[in-house]
């Protein structure tokens, strides 16, 4: 069977699973006697989605959350990569900072959200800070692990050609660790959504997390499912944006080597 035929069969099965899931969602609650306020059927969720699209400005709140996710992901990933490379290049700096980074990693990130709200108020900054904090560690750990497991024969070879420390990093260490970096970025892209939603749940006055609290307060389960679906879409888009960037940057590597984590 050719690769194209195999892809079509896989896509057909995936679509069949989706159709079966939607059918069970539509008719299952009624067959099982589940009340609509517990699990509304798909048709009611879709109807509620159409209502809140205009009435509750669903698209606007989705844009606020998506923008916060993008900012938190970019800043957290950049910070994690920079510190990861800095620790990997200098073992002494790693030895000095590791206990503090470990303590910060162990501390529950969600617990910082109320503190950020007290410091910065009901603004966009607390949720971005939570996202940065959650995104930071997967990128840092992946980069640092790749730097630790670097093939030292390649570094010694570069040194034998009188390469400077910066040349060794830019020509050997950085390209070698790119697969691990993108592995951390894939994880971080989904965690960024969690971080932003946590910030909005704790102290947001706009965004999908705020809408989720609002509809749960009303007991509107169908609208809550709509918001969850919107958050899922944002997470999927963020994840596949990283995957697309990975394929562009690491196009020279087989997919098995790109997906190291």
Question: Which CATH number does 40-258 carry?
Answer: 1.10.3720.10
Burial code (b: 16+ CB inside 10 Å, e: under 16) for 162-172 equals: ebeeeebbeeb
pLDDT in tens, 60-107: 999 999 999 999 999 999 999 999 998 988 888 888 888 888 888 888
Contact 244, 185 (CB under 8 A): no
User: Does the pTM of the predicted model rise above 0.75?
Assistant: yes
Name, in order, each residue with C-beta under 8 angstroms of 43's C-beta and a sequence gap of 6 or more.
Answer: 26
* Distance from chain centroid for Cα 204: 20
pLDDT in tens, 119-165: 888 888 999 999 999 999 999 999 998 888 887 778 778 777 777 77
In the structure encoding, which two tokens stand for residue 99, read together?
């206990």
pLDDT at 108 over 70: yes
pLDDT reported for residue 3: 60
Q: How far apart are the first and last CA of the chain?
A: 29
pLDDT reported for residue 261: 45
In the structure encoding, which two tokens stand for residue 206, read together?
């706009």
């Amino acid at each position: 069977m050719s690769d194209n035929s195999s892809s079509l069969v896989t896509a057909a099965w995936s679509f069949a699973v989706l159709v079966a899931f939607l059918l069970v969602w539509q008719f299952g609650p009624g067959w099982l006697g589940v009340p609509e306020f517990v699990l509304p059927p798909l048709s009611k969720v879709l109807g509620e989605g159409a209502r809140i699209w205009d009435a509750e400005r669903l698209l606007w709140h989705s844009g606020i959350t998506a923008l916060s996710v993008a900012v938190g992901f970019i800043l957290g990933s950049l910070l994690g990569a920079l510190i990861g490379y800095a620790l990997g290049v200098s073992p002494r700096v790693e030895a000095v900072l590791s206990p503090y980074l470990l303590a910060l990693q162990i501390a529950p990130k969600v617990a910082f959200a109320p503190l950020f709200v007290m410091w910065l108020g009901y603004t966009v900054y607390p949720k971005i800070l939570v996202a940065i904090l959650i995104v930071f560690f997967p990128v840092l750990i992946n980069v640092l692990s790749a730097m630790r497991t670097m093939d030292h024969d390649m570094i010694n070879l570069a040194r034998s050609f009188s390469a400077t420390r910066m040349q060794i990093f830019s020509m050997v260490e950085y390209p070698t660790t790119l697969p691990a970096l993108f592995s951390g970025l894939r994880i971080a892209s989904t965690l960024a959504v969690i971080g932003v939603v946590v910030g909005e749940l704790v102290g947001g006055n706009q965004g999908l997390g705020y809408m989720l609290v609002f509809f749960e307060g009303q007991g509107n389960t169908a609208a809550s499912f709509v918001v969850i679906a919107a958050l899922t879409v944002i997470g999927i888009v963020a994840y596949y944006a990283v995957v697309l960037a990975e394929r562009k940057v690491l196009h020279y590597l087989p997919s098995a080597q790109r997906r190291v984590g």
